[in-house]
Amino acid sequence: MCNDKHSCAYDVQGMCTPLVGTTLVHMERLFDSDTATMSWTFTVLSFGYFLGAVACGFVFDRVNHELQLVIANFVEAVTTIVAPFFTTLPLFIAALFIQANSQGFIDASKDRLSSEFCYEHIL
């Protein structure tokens, strides 16, 4: 990244993103579920990511960019922390949906900020 003030977005997302895949087997046991049911988490994650990126497209130029990144990172971090404490699968999947929504928002806004920064300082 060209700018240090946005590096927190990379750090938080880098810590939160891989946790779902590595804990899936343990979550299966916790929810007393099978692999086919737990695989819905990946579908929900993909759909949430898509909606977050679309939301960023509508909101990005209307609100302070740094504030958007702070809020999205905070929401992603909080849902990552609280998701393992849910005792039912629907609540867990809802938390993952919110987390993925934040991830999509963060990715789209980081890409937009990077292109804007490079356009202003390089071209």
Average pLDDT per run of 10 along the chain, which is 123 residues long? 54 61 73 83 89 88 82 87 83 89 87 70 63
pLDDT at 2: 45
In the chain, % helix, strand, coil (3-state, to 5) comes to 85, 0, 15
Q: Residue 45's domain spans which residues?
A: 4-121
Farthest-apart Cα atoms in the chain, separation = 56
Cβ atoms of residues 48 and 104 within 8 Å: yes
Domain count within the chain: 1
pLDDT at 1: 44
Q: Rounded to the nearest 5°, which phi and psi values hold at 113?
A: -65, -40
pLDDT at 70: 84
Listing DSSP states for 16-70 in one string gives HTTHHHHTHHHHHHHHT--HHHHTHHHHHHHHHHHHHHHHHHHHGGGS-HHHHHH
pLDDT at 93: 87
**Single pTM value for the model:** 0.76
pLDDT at 47: 93
Burial class, 103, CB count within 10 angstroms (exposed 0-12 / middle 13-18 / buried 19+)? buried
